[in-house]
Structure 1
Amino acid sequence: MIRSATPEDVPAIARLIRALAEYEKLSHEVVLEQEALRRHLFGERPHAEVVLAEQGGQVVGFALFFHTYSTFLSRPSLYLEDLFVLPEHRGQGHGKGLLTHLARLAVERGCGRFEWSVLDWNAPAIAFYKSVGAVPMSDWTVFRVTGDALHRLAGRS
């Protein structure tokens, strides 16, 4: 079953984020604060949304997403930040269920695109995404500014 997350789901979402970071060998980068997560997902001005995959009343996967905007299409886009299903629950349709749910939301909300990034080494995810019709955008490179570099760029070093 796929459902929208509620504030009561924040601990489960946090556990899944940590499990995702462990899977991606990026646990050292996690500085997750549950109250910040709660505020950013369910506060006065939510910055993202989460849908959950459940099996037998247990949360086994999640997708965190938000809207961006395509100037070329003059339409909103849906951006999938993270999708993760616990390893012991993979192959049971949860990942495809989450993607299908988000695709439906994108269509209902008039989005012109539904997109996401995937780590180059994650061959199982790449194969899965290709199997549902996604295509890699090999002519684009993601850039990121964080930490001290972000503060310098903002003129607040």
Structure 2
Amino acid sequence: MIRSATPEDVPVIARLIRALAEYEKLSHQVILREEDLTRHLFGERPHAEVVLAEEAGAVVGFALFFHTYSTFLARPSLYLEDLFVLPEHRGGGHGKALLSHLARLAVERGCGRFEWSVLDWNAPSIAFYESFGAVPMKDWTVFRLTGEALTRLAGRT
């Protein structure tokens, strides 16, 4: 079963984010605080949404997503930031159910695109996404500013 997260789900969302970071070998980058998640997901101006996959009443996976905008299409896009299913629950259709749910939301919301990024080494996920017809955008490179570089560009050094 897929359902929208509520503020009461923040502790489980935080645990799943940490489990995803561990899987991606990026735990050292996780600095999240549950109060920030609560504010950013359920506050006055939510920045993202979360849906949860449940099995027998227990949360076994999640997807965190938000909207971007395509100027070429002049339509919103749905961007999947994180998709994660606990390893012991993989192969049970939860990942596909989460993706299908988000695809339906994208269509219902008039989105022209549904996009996400995947680590180059994550062959199982790449094969999973390609099995649904997703195509890698090989001509595009993701750029990121964080920390001091972000502050410097913002003119607040």
| TM-score of the superposed pair, with normalisation by structure 2 | 1.00
Give the distance between the partners of 1:24 and 1:16, measured in 2 at CA: 12
In the alignment, what sits opposite 2:13? 13
In the alignment, what sits opposite 1:147? 147
Could you tell me which amino acid in structure 2 is paired with residue 13 of structure 1?
A: I
Q: Alpha-carbon deviation of 1:108?
A: 0.1
In the alignment, what sits opposite 2:97? 97
Return 5+ residue gaps in structure 1 as ranges.
none
Could you tell me which amino acid in structure 2 is paired with residue 36 of structure 1?
A: D
State how many pairs are aligned.
157
After TM superposition, the structure 1 = structure 2 runs for residues 4-153 of structure 1, keeping only pairs within 5 Å, are: 4-153=4-153
Moved over 2 A (4+): none
Give aligned-pair identity as a percent.
Answer: 86
Return 5+ residue gaps in structure 2 as ranges.
none
Give the distance between the partners of 2:89 and 2:52, measured in 1 at CA: 13
Alignment RMSD, CA only? 0.3
Q: Is the partner of 2:53 in helix, strand or coil?
A: strand
Q: Can you list the C-alpha shifts for 1:46-92, whole angstroms capped at 9, x where unaligned? A: 00000000001100000000000000000000000000000000000
Q: Can you list the C-alpha shifts for 1:75-125, whole angstroms capped at 9, x where unaligned? A: 000000000000000000000000000000000000000000000000000
Give the distance between the partners of 1:50 and 1:15, measured in 2 at CA: 14
| TM-score of the superposed pair, with normalisation by structure 1 | 1.00
